[in-house]
Structure 1
Amino acid sequence: MKNLLLIFTITLLVFITSCGKDDGAEIQLGLSGAVTFDGTATTMSDGLIIDFGADAGEYNYDFYIANGNIAVDGVELTVSGNTLIYLELYNEGTAFSPGTFAVAQSGAKYCFASIRVDDETNIATGGTVTVTGSGQNYEAVFNLEFSGERTLTGTVEGGFALQGSL
């Protein structure tokens, strides 16, 4: 009987301590901020992170940032707006680590970046993206260069939807 009472007491304590109020920051999905590409400013409103995880000593997070809604159905991604920024970010290690990512093919922190406006995709040739934050709340500061002396600058921040590999 004592053992039964002890098990009940331990179970009750675990239940009480694990069901308390979550002290973590509330995640509000949706972004604020604007970017300017080739002289045209656009307000961005939605974001998605796809966590591809670690491979060969590098960690890969892909950020999608749009001026419309982003939806994922299985392996298909659809965007309702006319502007989409794609960032494929890599850092050394076994977890995503915010910081400044240079457009390059390798390094401690590097990235591939592109922007699609209407149906034209432009691939960054240089520059950086600085990402700060954690969990699903991030800020991205753009200072990217494209062919034809075009640039992408600006800051976007807020809550990103988070999904595992497609």
Structure 2
Amino acid sequence: MNMNQEIFAFKRFCEWLNLLNNVDSKFWLKPVARGKWSSAEIVSHLMNWDRFIQDSVIPAVRQGQMIRFPDEDSYNQLAADYARSGISQSELIKETIRERERVVAELLALPEEIYQLKTNYSLAFLIPEFVGHDEHHKGQIERFLRSEGILLV
């Protein structure tokens, strides 16, 4: 895939996120499996990593600096806590879509040589990785919803 195809694959997740607005809120904070997060926590987790791309990864790549990742456990816990903070289902979905669209706009504005620029990672490597990450979590939510008799359409 080329740069634009990778970025648009990353953006397509917004379409799927919108489908979650149709899910009854009684399932929103229910864990998707034993010992796993809820759909709300997963969505917040994805939004938190989008913010990381926007606020840390893109600036580091632009400056030719190494990308430094936060401690995953504590970073992910912040997202889970936010999902349980009282934010509504529709607001969390809207906020997540806004964050994703903000990252996509920033990525599309980058020259391809910056997108391809490798320090310890390149955006050309990370964005497809994050698309796979999205798909993993999308699958978790869809399996859970199917187990509850809900199909996203």
Q: TM-score, normalised by structure 1?
A: 0.24
Relative contact order (alpha carbons < 8 A, sep ≥ 6): 1 or 2 greater?
2
Higher strand share: 1
